[in-house]
Structure 1
């Protein structure tokens, strides 16, 4: 992924559609040329956000990686449909990890689903 690529998206039709190893490979392919610790950080945040989506939401799951124009900030978004009435999101260990690793994160709930996002900043 480079500053010329604004956003890349992966859509998973169900939880079994893409095993964790395949998602990790997809993220690594988009992180070619990045420093190892940067790719590891992004992979960890992606994994935690997807785990939360699978635990609290329903398919399809949509993963989006968006790099800002300067190449210094990557926004990771995971969207899932609402599972059912009153499912709600809780602040668990996965989101605590995301909180520690990222500069900002948040949850946007809508009638049709929930998006959890996190911003990872890369300073020289």
Structure 2
């Protein structure tokens, strides 16, 4: 997970991943979208490749880069874990929801325990 976090820490690499999300691309195509040098783009692609976020394939004389989101799964699960309520907080939230629902139901239904008026 650390390699993935380090790979996506750079804004250029995040932009490369966004480009690859659309479709596989060549180095030339990727480099044409940035103002930095082609060797710099190649270094960014190497970091992404080493983290497993992109794969490359030799097609003719060009390398075609493809996005692989599988390495993001562990990071996504960890973020979900951090964002979820811990321990008792989750249970207390559920209890609060149930108390409000019950209270709302009682306020909308007639009270069956109230004494009935004698109409005789």
TM-score, normalised with respect to structure 2: 0.27
Instruction: Please tell me whether Structure 1 or Structure 2 has the larger radius of gyration of its CA atoms.
Output: 2
Greater strand fraction, Structure 1 or Structure 2: 1
TM-score after normalising by structure 1: 0.26
Q: Higher relative contact order by CA 8 Å / sep ≥ 6: 1 or 2?
A: 1
